[in-house]
Amino acid sequence: MKQHSFPFSLARPLALLVCILLSLSGSTQQKAAITRVDPTFWWVGMKDQNLQLLVYGPNAGTFTYSIDYPGVTLVKTHTVENPNYAFLNLTLAPQTKAGTFTLTGRNGKQKLTRQYQLKARTNEPKAQGVNASDFIYLVLPDRFANADPKNDAFKNMADTQADRSNPFLRHGGDLKGIQNHLGYFEELGATALWLNPIIENDQPLTEEGGTQRSAYHGYAFTDHYQVDRRLGGNDAYKKLIQAAHTRGMKVVKDAVYNHVGSNHWFIKDLPSKDWLNQWPAYTNTSHKFQPTIDPHAAQADYEVLRKGWFVPHMPDLNQNNPFVANYLIQHALWTVEHFGVDAWRIDTYLYNEDEFMNRCNQALLNEYPTIHIFGESWVNNVVAQARFVQNTINFPFKSNQPGTLDFVLFNAINDALNQNFGWDEGVSKIHQTLAQDAVYQDPMKLVTFLDNHDMNRYFSVIGEDLNKYKMGMTWLLTLRGIPSLYYGTEILMKNFKDPSDAEVRKDFPGGFAGDKENKFTAAGRTERENEAFNFVKKLAQYRKNTPALHSGKLTQFVPQEGIYVYFRHDEKKTVLVATNSTDKEAELKTERYKERLQGFSKARNVLTDQNLNTLTTIKIPAKTALVLELQP
């Protein structure tokens, strides 16, 4: 998620803060009860034997609690400003058996009880991670496919509307719709699905840029432990992941730690004033990342970046509050364990507190050593990007995040496609960006992309030029890192963010009842769309079956006269990628590349299946990237 450019009224956030403060003194007259406990259940046999339960209900924090269950010890009870909350620190001994215990609270003659379940862990696949051998497909669930129109809208939710004719309202896509098209992803060559957030967003419409908009994007959580029922709920999410695993596909969870929706249940009755980052008057984040790397930065600028709110209707969580931190970390572990997700994408990573992020990352990695974690830090240079991932730079703070979204390479690829070649322009940008990979501990763990749900669509940015499309797609699928593709890019979906993000988040044609076109099938695509689809499919399937291409060493040569050449190679195979970014056919003399061509005299063009019987010179058509599998 990126910053928004439209103006906001300060009246709503200021009113929200007033309500938050008033809520701390409310509900004392209600009958005492426990109405919820988070996490909703837990497991025996977890590596971390500590568990903190959030106990909530009218005056639930005024009771003294006890637990009588073998292996479960109530170590300490914490109370906060709001008497409706208690936080219970438990330890679970290694020999603790699965079962249900009774949480008992006493306050004089009053008694509260609540059943809590400890489950046995299963051997179902989970936290398999994604790596350079994978190809991630990014889906915005509400806009992809609708399998069940009955769950499009609910009268008892804050937003009761679903209308495909309105770009700002929900359209009805759901998780079953995604599951119904797993075969499509497989055909394309995708090995992992990344879904924009699926957690409940029970938000009212908000005024943004002069229009009323829904939270169909998913980034305004209102209950961490519920998948939005308009997407099908918890059961549908679990079934989708199980179905994907059955096909050998992985699922990436989109996590948000920085903020929640203004309608979140704990925002309506805030545990304490410091649950949020609060200011005397509404303060937006600056969206300026520089204070995180600047040795000369003013502390005030750093505070505004980190503690300012992303937008007024998404309250900013104070991760320095230990109860907030525990709540978010335990939810992350619960999600992986319960649903079986394989990797973890973190929204607005650079806005989170550093120590919290390291602690959260480590908790996931300790419990699930094979999981991959990559965050969104929207920056414009390599040094800044390295700041938020495991790196080799002497920063005062060292991040433990394994991967990150590669915004710098994204910018370089776009420049390469839209600039004429020069010393520092065109394909030189890609070469120069990759030449700085030494700043990362492992650049292969970076996730690369051509566009996403917050950006102008790739095909529009390159002027709807199919030759440029193929060049960029070739770079995406043959350079280092873990490639990801935004839904519809393979069928040339286009548009700019004008007047809003909705223009780049249109419904996938064929995913909804009544669609006149079905782009899930070759028969429903135009000739040009099939050319693009088949290009991605051909290269992605080849990449999947060619370790040298996805996991081998990268050797690149300084571009000359608009020609950019690099090799992906391991002990078994060598692949040559040669790009002519100019408007004229080029004849590549290969003597310069002999260090990687030794022992090879022929090649097969991976994309056309044509054979080259000599490698002395290679003709490259204008605006073309060749992918050649070298042969003796």
Per residue in 544-563, pLDDT (tens digit) is: 999 999 999 999 999 999 99
Closest by alpha carbon to 374, among 350, 392, 410, 409?
A: 350
Structure tokens at 279: 């200011």
3-state secondary structure 251-312: EEEEECCCECCCCCHHHHCCCCHHHECCCCCCCECCCCCHHHCCCCCCHHHHHHHHHCECEC
Write down the pLDDT at residue 6: 32
Indicate the pTM of the whole model.
0.96
For residue 150, the tally of other CB atoms under 10 A from its CB is 8
Q: CB of 304 within 8 A of CB of 210?
A: no
Which residues, including other chains, have CB under 8 Å from residue 588's CB and lie 6 or more apart?
563, 565, 578, 580, 617, 618, 619, 620
Q: Look over the chain and give the mean of its residue pLDDT values, rounded to a whole number.
A: 95
Structure tokens at 421: 């070649």
Write down the pLDDT at residue 25: 47
Give the percent of the chain with pLDDT over 70.
95
As annotated, the active-site residues are 347, 376
Q: How far is CA 188 from CA 141, 304, 341, in A?
A: 18, 43, 21
Residue 30: which pLDDT band, with cuts at 50, 70 and 90?
confident
Write down the pLDDT at residue 22: 45
Q: What is the mean pLDDT of residues 319-330?
A: 98
Residue 152: which pLDDT band, with cuts at 50, 70 and 90?
very high
Strands of 343-346's sheet in order across: 403-404, 372-375, 343-346, 250-255, 192-195, 136-139, 482-486, 447-448
Q: What is the mean pLDDT of residues 165-190?
A: 98
Per residue in 447-504, pLDDT (tens digit) is: 999 999 999 999 999 999 999 999 999 999 999 999 999 999 999 999 999 999 999 9
Write down the pLDDT at residue 2: 53
Write down the pLDDT at residue 8: 34
Angle at 134 between CA 393 and CA 525, to 5 degrees: 125
382 pLDDT more than 60: yes
Closest by alpha carbon to 270, among 207, 348, 327, 206?
A: 327
The SS3 call for residue 569 is: strand
1 pLDDT more than 70: no
Per residue in 194-252, pLDDT (tens digit) is: 999 999 999 999 998 889 999 999 999 999 999 999 999 999 999 999 999 999 999 99
Angle at 171 between CA 167 and CA 175, to 5 degrees: 140
Q: What is the mean pLDDT of residues 126-135?
A: 98
Write down the pLDDT at residue 7: 32
Q: CB of 363 within 8 A of CB of 89?
A: no
14 pLDDT more than 60: no
Write down the pLDDT at residue 9: 35
Q: What is the mean pLDDT of residues 568-589?
A: 98
